[in-house]
Amino acid sequence: MRALSTHSLLDLIKLFEQSVQRVVGEDGQILTGIPGWRLRQYEALDSERISEWCDCIGYAGYYQAPYGNDHCDVDVFPDDGSDRYLYRCPETFRLRAIEPTEIGIYHPRKELFLNAMADLLDIPVALRSGISQADIQGTLWRIGKVRVGPTLTDIWVARGLALSVDAVFQRLQQTDLSDLGIILTTGNSLPAIITVPRHYRVIPIKEVIDSTQNVARIDMERLSQLVTGANFPDDHQRSPVHFDEYSNKLTIRTNPVPWVITGLKQAAAVKYMAEQANKGRWKLSAAEILGSVYGTQNLGRSRRMQDLFKSNSQWRDYITNHEKGIWGFVT
């Protein structure tokens, strides 16, 4: 299997977390996974990567069809003349064909993902018995032990923790476990108001990935610091702008209100602008920004920044036109 890039790992973590969503299958059964039309949000995962890491467990009974600047759910049915599916376009009312991959429901191969996490943490195979025997089915796995300072500490992976806090915390309070452990969550941090049992630490995996490397790597020093509570500089706090690709939220230090972007192409543009701003490039041409979003795509391409953000009433509060054709953040 090919080595993972940092961006691929981040997308896999996001996919693993979001795969707990419920999708209505073509026979009316409820399946958990990611429908094919939503796989486009994982930009670092091509179809080959998806095939490596996920199983297609069924097909959705509907499709999210384009409708103006948005989408709407429409029923799908097999095309008797081919292996494709058909749906009725909500704008033209004509029948449109789609490939089965568009409505496939994909679920990550849990043991493959968890072993990949164990590999990144250098956990010996002999200590990974909890990967195949979940403590809470589909939610919590003990993937081994890692050394934090002088101590070997149990380390777990939790998926959908925000939805299963009570069950997970009840498990951590049982007497067959040690008083200290690390819960790596594929989601976000828990609210500060939530008290974690005993001496356990809940840490989002994305916070301990070494973002300075192209090849996926866990920053063990940062993990140790987060577990022990040691003080260390936070790159996000120092940066004037920060874009969280998991929530599509832009934070500008001088603006007290973060901006949550809903459109995928709009989010891609803002992400690129934030990356360049943190490299000291605060003013970018519209052509460069739009090029980062569309690449070589010509059909359906926005020609101006105003066109790209026309469905978003907030964008002018965060992005400004410095001069003709030149754009940047409002700071």
Q: What is the pLDDT of residue 137?
A: 95
- Is residue 1 a part of any domain in this protein? no
Write out pLDDT tens, residues 35-64.
999 998 999 999 999 999 999 999 999 999
Write out pLDDT tens, residues 248-275.
888 887 777 888 898 889 999 999 999 8
Q: What is the pLDDT of residue 232?
A: 41
Give whole-number Cα distances, 167 to 21, 111, 154, 197, 208, in Å. 18, 21, 18, 12, 25
132 near 110, Cβ under 8 Å? no
β pairing state of 104-108 and 34-35: antiparallel
Write out pLDDT tens, residues 159-172.
999 999 999 999 99
Q: What is the mean pLDDT of the chain?
A: 90
Closest CA to 117 of 179, 186, 172: 186
160 near 134, Cβ under 8 Å? no
Arithmetic mean of pLDDT, 234-244: 64
The string of DSSP codes covering 22-83 is: EEEBTTS-EEESEEGGGGGG-TT--HHHHHHHEEEEEEBSEEEEEETTEEEEEEEEE-TTSS
Regarding whether 180 and 169 lie in a shared domain, the answer is yes
CA dihedral 182, 188, 193, 199 (to 10 degrees): 0
271 near 263, Cβ under 8 Å? no
209 near 185, Cβ under 8 Å? no
- Is residue 227 a part of any domain in this protein? yes
Regarding whether 129 and 215 lie in a shared domain, the answer is yes
Regarding whether 199 and 251 lie in a shared domain, the answer is no
pLDDT confidence band for 211 (50 / 70 / 90): confident
User: Based on the structure, what is the number of domains in the chain?
Assistant: 3
- Is residue 126 a part of any domain in this protein? yes
Residue ranges of E strands in the chain: 22-24, 30-32, 34-35, 54-59, 62-67, 70-78, 85-88, 95-98, 104-108, 140-148, 151-158, 180-185, 199-204, 241-244, 249-252, 259-260, 284-285, 319-323, 326-329
Domain stop point among 200, 232, 264: 232
Please state whether the predicted TM-score (pTM) of the whole model is above 0.85.
no
Regarding whether 95 and 11 lie in a shared domain, the answer is yes
Phi and psi angles of residue 29, each rounded to the nearest 5 degrees, phi first: -75, 155
β pairing state of 151-158 and 180-185: parallel
- Is residue 160 a part of any domain in this protein? yes
Write out pLDDT tens, residues 278-304.
888 999 999 999 999 988 777 778 889
**pLDDT over 70 percentage in the chain:** 96
> What's the domain range around 92?
6-108
Arithmetic mean of pLDDT, 304-325: 91
Q: What is the pLDDT of residue 1?
A: 63
Q: What is the pLDDT of residue 84?
A: 96
- Is residue 199 a part of any domain in this protein? yes
Regarding whether 115 and 103 lie in a shared domain, the answer is no
Arithmetic mean of pLDDT, 68-84: 92
Regarding whether 314 and 251 lie in a shared domain, the answer is yes
7: three-class secondary structure by DSSP:
helix
Regarding whether 324 and 248 lie in a shared domain, the answer is yes
103 near 48, Cβ under 8 Å? no
- Is residue 99 a part of any domain in this protein? yes
Domain stop point among 81, 108, 135: 108
pLDDT confidence band for 234 (50 / 70 / 90): very low
Domain stop point among 211, 232, 253: 232
Regarding whether 245 and 311 lie in a shared domain, the answer is yes
Q: What is the pLDDT of residue 191?
A: 86
